[in-house]
Amino acid sequence: MLTISDLAPETIKELLNDADAFANGKISKAKSEIFVSNLFYENSTRTKTSFDIAERKLGLQVVPFDVSTSSVNKGESLYDTVKTLEALGVNLVVIRHFQDAYYKELESIDLPVINGGDGKGSHPTQTVLDLLTIYQEFGKFEGLKIGIVGDVKHSRVANSNAEALRKLGAKVYFSGPSEWFDEGAIINGTFVALDDLVKEVDVLILLRIQHERHGEKMQISLGKYHKKYGLTKEREKAMKPEAIIMHPAPINRGVEIDSDLVECERSRIFKAMENGVFARMAILKHALESKGFEFE
Amino acid sequence: MLTISDLAPETIKELLNDADAFANGKISKAKSEIFVSNLFYENSTRTKTSFDIAERKLGLQVVPFDVSTSSVNKGESLYDTVKTLEALGVNLVVIRHFQDAYYKELESIDLPVINGGDGKGSHPTQTVLDLLTIYQEFGKFEGLKIGIVGDVKHSRVANSNAEALRKLGAKVYFSGPSEWFDEGAIINGTFVALDDLVKEVDVLILLRIQHERHGEKMQISLGKYHKKYGLTKEREKAMKPEAIIMHPAPINRGVEIDSDLVECERSRIFKAMENGVFARMAILKHALESKGFEFE
Amino acid sequence: MLTISDLAPETIKELLNDADAFANGKISKAKSEIFVSNLFYENSTRTKTSFDIAERKLGLQVVPFDVSTSSVNKGESLYDTVKTLEALGVNLVVIRHFQDAYYKELESIDLPVINGGDGKGSHPTQTVLDLLTIYQEFGKFEGLKIGIVGDVKHSRVANSNAEALRKLGAKVYFSGPSEWFDEGAIINGTFVALDDLVKEVDVLILLRIQHERHGEKMQISLGKYHKKYGLTKEREKAMKPEAIIMHPAPINRGVEIDSDLVECERSRIFKAMENGVFARMAILKHALESKGFEFE
């Protein structure tokens, strides 16, 4: 599972059903000894930890891999690293890497690779958990209006989510600083002013400012950003009664969202994290079953 | 379990009895799948590893958490980090943090937190293992004379231990460089010159010089420190026959204690480390049982 | 197991037989709870991960140890660190350390230590896996001609392998830049020009240039090194039909070996990594059984 484009809508729905079953308490354990490893070349709490927990819940053996003490420091390439883990008996790897589409150099390797985020590319497992959270809320995607706000240019979440949501029948709108849009990337996306957007959408997805990917210094102060492009208490009040708020986190509190709204009634921010474990269990199981491994 | 002040003497005695049972070979395993995570924002070998082993001995699932590769590097707060782990299904966290009383910002979180050391604050699990070591030796606390020597100002061990020992009926004395005393912190403490102290005490607890917490350069050479405030061979000879030596380690050999004395007959330094695993087993079990988890 | 010199030829053969049984699917699990820890003071992917997997395959409990967040940063010595782990209940440690013969300072500790590489000293578990790979290929060592090429001076693999291979009846030849030879270390070694060597040997072991151990700047460009001392496509064609290629990896592709040859038909580079897990299972089991632990 490398990008969300790889998945047909039927496969996405199957994953959502499996994930929802896990959310409702279903237990599934590997029938044989399976070794997996999580290769995170970028910092992560949520994605890495939720894979770690999902793997343990499925009864998999998690082999630690720490980039900072690996032979990556002796100049070993990603290809040779993954090929090595395969030779050592690892059955699946999860990779987060700062390079867009890093997985292309791994094409000749037979080992299943789950993409935990590639540069500014995609973040398909985040999309599945976001979809699950929306699906649990509304029971459908057709006709839903989804707003994605903020640092679209540097966000792999924006790209993956927009693509999947459209594929499943939702309408996707964007807002935020216009200079952070990359026209090529957001095909068919409609730009809407934030104050209009908040009144219309069923789901408002706020994106983190990716400070670490902004080469140039930001042209706007964080306080100003919050007033112009953040979810303030005023804007939250303008939202439809049943509309929900999401954010892939980590959150810059008081910037993308007023700190008091992070745990407000319509926030599904922590709910989505919870779903992250169930979504990844479904994805891991799916990938391993496709290689002949069995679960009970 | 955040500070030793939280614990009534009866609870302390209960923990000591449980820990002593583990020291005598008792085995206890969780009846259900329990996820725990150890968040160490400061370096540690003993405390972290003994939690890691205690958790595995209790049959818990240990979810790795590495501060240096987490979203802490994207500016995520301790509150949001712990809240995230809770959302992901972690059932208990152990935290060591450089900030005094870091746990105050976590008060609204329902997840049990065990304090593995907070800044210059307290280190309650170290206290329980020290108490266990003393209790195994003397079978009581009432009337015992305990000397705590050294870097009292920067030591969370000194504070936690002194408080608990007094609560349980022991008499606590302090020694070391007078400029390293913080009068507010050591209420009712009696300062005694080291050469007098060593002759009187049943237990001599030597503290590590916390080089990393001394902002200013130390005014005294390490060799001079050893002569004036360290346990030299001469001072060891002056101790009572049954008196024991303790040190929370890591040890600056030849500074707080003559290197040859580290493993001498009256040293309980490594014995106390061994007890660290049993003490933490008792504490973890206690905290998890209070949340309804069962052990066999 | 500290150096290959510690092992009698019979013990080596016993380990190879056990390892080969694991390679053929034999399963062996510890009968009791056994705690092990891997202390890697130098970077490693292959050795560390293969120990991690071998330990899990044997049903051992692996206690994480991260040098960078341990009390090593508070100046704790290797002796005190290992003594601490022993006190905490760890039953065996694997150590890789940058200091030659680091294990000498651990002599008084009762805990079994497996050497995962010491400075420019030895790397005995790598030798066992190399021997296993050769044994699987030829069914014997007597009379085999082995060529070791490259950075012999800085290679612990060269020293350990040459010693063991001679002990078992093989003939060992060396090649590479003459200034990288340390006459003292390579007793009885015969230096042969590379173009002659490749035609003669049954096994060609290429060594990685240990850039991190070359204090001085290398006097030769990497391209020139490849032409003069690397395995080029031309040299590979001159090899005997049944001869195999090995490299302890990580590989500097295009330097020690043409990148296209890394996965060529006569390469056993990834096969040897696979064997690394089986060799380490045999070594761990052997060390633990000698301390009275049982396996089923």
Rounded to the nearest angstrom, the minimum Cα separation between B273 and chain A is 26
CB within 8 Å of B150: residues ≥ 6 apart: B175, B176, B180, B206, B207, B208, B209, B229, B256
Residue B185: the pLDDT is: 47
- Helix, strand, coil fractions of chain C, as percent rounded to 5: 45, 15, 40
The beta strands (E) that lie in B98-149 are given as: 113-118, 145-149
Beta bridge partners of B231: B257
Residue C156: the pLDDT is: 85
Chains with at least 3 CB pairs less than 8 angstroms from chain C: A, B
Rounded to the nearest angstrom, the minimum Cα separation between B109 and chain A is 12
Is beta strand A35-40 parallel, antiparallel or unpaired with respect to B171-175?
unpaired
CATH code of the domain occupying B126-270: 3.40.50.1370
- Mark the binding-site residues of A for carbamoyl phosphate, compressed into ranges: 46-47, 96, 123, 126, 249-250
Question: Per the CB < 8 Å rule, is A49 touching B65?
Answer: yes
| Portions of chain C given CATH number 3.40.50.1370 | 4-123+274-289, 124-267
pLDDT at A185 over 50: no
pLDDT at C185 over 50: no
pLDDT-above-90 percentage for chain B: 77
The residues on B that touch A, with CB distances below 8 Å, are 33, 35, 37, 61, 63-66, 68-77, 80-81, 83-90
Chains with at least 3 CB pairs less than 8 angstroms from chain A: B, C
The span from the CA of C155 to the CA of C177, in Å, is: 13
Rounded to the nearest angstrom, the minimum Cα separation between C82 and chain B is 10
**Would you mind telling me the total number of residues written for chain C in this entry?**
296
Cα dihedral sign, A219-A224-A226-A227 = negative
Residues B154-165 pLDDT 10s: 788 888 899 899
Residues A39-55 pLDDT 10s: 999 988 899 999 999 99
Residues B151-194 pLDDT 10s: 888 788 888 899 899 999 999 999 998 777 765 545 456 889 99
C-beta atoms surrounding C254 within 10 Å: 16
C124-267 folds as Rossmann fold (3.40.50)
Quickly count helices (H) and strands (E) in chain B.
9, 9
More confident call, A184 vs C152: C152
pLDDT at B56 over 70: yes
Question: Per the CB < 8 Å rule, is B45 touching C84?
Answer: yes
- B22, B43, B98, B209: best to mutate for the C interface, most C CBs within 10 A: B43
pLDDT at C260 over 90: yes
pLDDT at C87 over 50: yes
- Mark the binding-site residues of B, compressed into ranges: 46-47, 74, 96, 123, 126, 156, 208, 249-250
Question: Per the CB < 8 Å rule, is C88 touching B277?
Answer: yes
Q: Is B62 helix (H, G, I), strand (E, B) or coil?
A: strand
| Portions of chain B given CATH number 3.40.50.1370 | 4-123+274-289, 126-270
* Residue B127 near residue B147, CB atoms below 8 Å: no
| Portions of chain A given CATH number 3.40.50.1370 | 4-123+274-289, 125-268
More confident call, A137 vs A67: A137
pLDDT at A75 over 90: no
Question: Per the CB < 8 Å rule, is C66 touching B67?
Answer: no
Question: Per the CB < 8 Å rule, is C64 touching B68?
Answer: no
- Facing B73 at nearest CB: one of A43, A52, A68: A43
B251 vs C contacts (CB less than 8 Å): 76, 80
- Facing C71 at nearest CB: one of B43, B66, B67: B43
Question: Per the CB < 8 Å rule, is B71 touching A45?
Answer: yes
Pick the CATH number of A125-268 from 3.40.190.10, 1.10.10.10, 3.40.50.2020, 3.40.50.1370: 3.40.50.1370
Q: What is the predicted ipTM?
A: 0.93
Chains with at least 3 CB pairs less than 8 angstroms from chain B: A, C
Q: Is B183 helix (H, G, I), strand (E, B) or coil?
A: coil
CATH code of the domain occupying B4-123+274-289: 3.40.50.1370
The span from the CA of C157 to the CA of C247, in Å, is: 10
- CA angle (B105, A260, B68) in 5-degree steps: 50
